[in-house]
Amino acid sequence: MLNEKLRINKKILENDFEKKPIRDGFGEGLVAAGEENKNVVALCADLMESTRTEAFAKKFPERFFEVGVAEQNMATIAAGLGISGKIPFISSYAIFSPGRNYEQIRTTICYNDSNVKIVGAHAGISVGPDGATHQATEDIAVMRALPNMKVVVPCDALEAKKATIAAAKVWGPVYIRLGRAKSAVVTTEETPFRFGKAELLWHPTHGRQITKPDVLIVGCGTLIHNSILAAKELESDKINVSVLNVHTIKPLDEHAILNHAGRAVAVVVVEEHQIAGGLGGAVAELLARALPMPMEFIGIRDTFGESGQPRELIEKYGMGVGDIKEAVRKAMKRKGIV
């Protein structure tokens, strides 16, 4: 069942749940961060509407800078602002920033230790009809490999809002990854968000009693909803699953992952990203060192996406609820269970 302490939106288990683009939450969070701290500034590369920086630009025109279609310039101007007491948020599609401007981010933001927040919108395959050129599916791997960089992947609009406000308060470079499509609002205003702390959204129950999971699902971003739906369906098949939302991939909440994985026999990692180098890689690096156990990975399998509707793409590329359930069963089989 849903972890009641976290005030998760119960409607997500039904069919009429609220949907909202994750990037909307970023736009709201940016305005809130700007209200809290006058040093928050925003830069945009001709995608003010798409990345939802419009509200900030209207409210704080003197703190908003349009750089045109020039992501390398956006990152490096922000680097200069960030070493001069400002807290710049730079936003574009993830494929362009941090895609095109990787080296500038490495040298002038990370190695320079400049207080820049990089917001990559339209990440993942669920970008949809624009096709593979615009679907960033490698960005987590690239960003989490950078020294000094922190990486956050919010699971819905509300979490994106909280993550944005939190990122403004955390010193140093932060990458925030946002999806494009309208997606389920999993959390509520009351759900806590602690930067760097994973939250257990779903735990197996026997009656009202919380029981031991067979498998721990570790997920992030847009696929948290599918993970919870898979956990619920597996429950009726008498398979016990926990779902841990690791919104902060770096620094990784090692304590929470080891704690929850330690109660299960296997781990399934779920993310809308290449299997290589993403959250799955981060969790595997931890478990291989501290708690070796069977793992399965839900994600994109070393391929580019294509045009299509978000839901169709998630299904076609193996990240649907059925795929997650299958991965859980496969992981259990490796331990001789099921």
Partner 1 sequence: MANIHEDGLKYLEEFATRIREKVVETLLEAGSGHSAGPLGMADMFSALYFHILNHNPKKPNWSDRDRLILSNGHICPVQYVTLAYAGYFPVEELKTLRKINSRLQGHPHRGSLPGVETTSGPLGSGLSQALGVALAAELDKKKYWTYCIASDGEHQEGNFWEAVMFAGKHKFLNIILIVDRNNIQISGYTEKVMPLEPLRAKYEAFNWHVLEIDGHNIEDFIDAVSEAKAIYEKPTVIIAHTIPGKGVSFMERDYLWHGKPPDKDEANAALKELRTLGDKIQSEY
User: Which residue ranges make up the site for partner 1 (CB under 8 A)?
Assistant: 41, 62-63, 65, 67-68, 70, 72-73, 76-86, 88, 103-104, 107-108, 111-113
Nearest C-alpha neighbor of 314 from the set 185, 224, 254: 224
Nearer to partner 1, 36 or 285 (CB): 36
**Choice between 84 and 205, CB closer to partner 1:** 84
* Among candidate residues 286, 293, 297, 169, the one with its CA nearest the CA of residue 223: 297
Residues 223 and 166: beta-carbon distance below 8 Å: no
Alpha carbon distance 121, 94 (integer Å): 5
Task: Using alpha carbons, list the distances in angstroms from residue 313 to 77, 131, 189, 242.
Answer: 36, 10, 30, 26
> Smallest gap, in angstroms, from Cβ of residue 147 to partner 1?
12
**Closer of 18 and 103 to partner 1 (Cβ):** 103
| Chain centroid, CA 291 distance in Å | 24
Residue 63 vs 182, nearer CB to partner 1: 63
Separation of alpha carbons 299 and 294, rounded Å: 17
Of 100 and 177, the one with the shorter C-beta distance to partner 1 is: 100
Q: How far is the CB of 34 from partner 1 (least distance, A)?
A: 13
* Closest CB to partner 1 among residues 115, 245: 115
Minimum distance from CB of 59 to partner 1 (Å)? 15
Shortest Cβ 2–partner 1 spacing (Å): 44
CA-wise closest residue to 305 among 316, 294, 296:
316
E strand or H helix that includes residue 233 = helix 224-236
